[in-house]
Amino acid sequence: MVHQFIAALLLSVVVPHVQEPNWGSVIRVEGYKAVANTNYGDTNGRDPFLPACAHTVDPRPMNTPNPTLSDGSNVAVSFIIGTDGRVYSVFTLNGADNDPNVQAVFRAVERWRFHPGTCNEVPVDSEGAVLFKRQ
């Protein structure tokens, strides 16, 4: 499920939020999705033992400052947004972990905070993916 979400985001199938900040030239294409089971017994990519969600709300960003990137850089990352709104398990979808731009993105994303996604008004872990572009 995570890989399908990430692929959809990077292909802009997920409705992206594109941010063009006034303070720099970093463009973000981002998407966040609450991890929830919407149908009991549906084993097509969902865990049949998770409770069904009649109503899900995707996480909402609270504080997500941009990293500083070198010219021409593209860094895509995926991560988990915990029930506490903190970011966990950040990994790169392109580039090497020791690349200075990837390290800058890791440092920035690990400090981000969100209102957590919910399933039936109960906070749940969520998936996030962001493509950073510097032009």
How confident is the model over 15-25, as pLDDT tens digits?
334 443 333 45
Listed as ranges, residues in the chain with pLDDT below 70 are: 1-28, 35-51, 135
pLDDT on residue 25: 56
135 burial (CB, 10 Å; 0-12 / 13-18 / 19+) is: exposed
What are the residue boundaries of the structural domains of the chain, listed by start?
2-134
Please state, as a whole number, how many other Cβ atoms lie within 10 Å of the Cβ of residue 71.
Answer: 7
pLDDT digits (tens, 9 = 90+) for 76-90: 999 999 999 999 999
Q: What fold, for 2-134?
A: TolA/TonB C-terminal domain (3.30.2420)
pLDDT on residue 32: 74
pTM (whole model) above 0.85: no
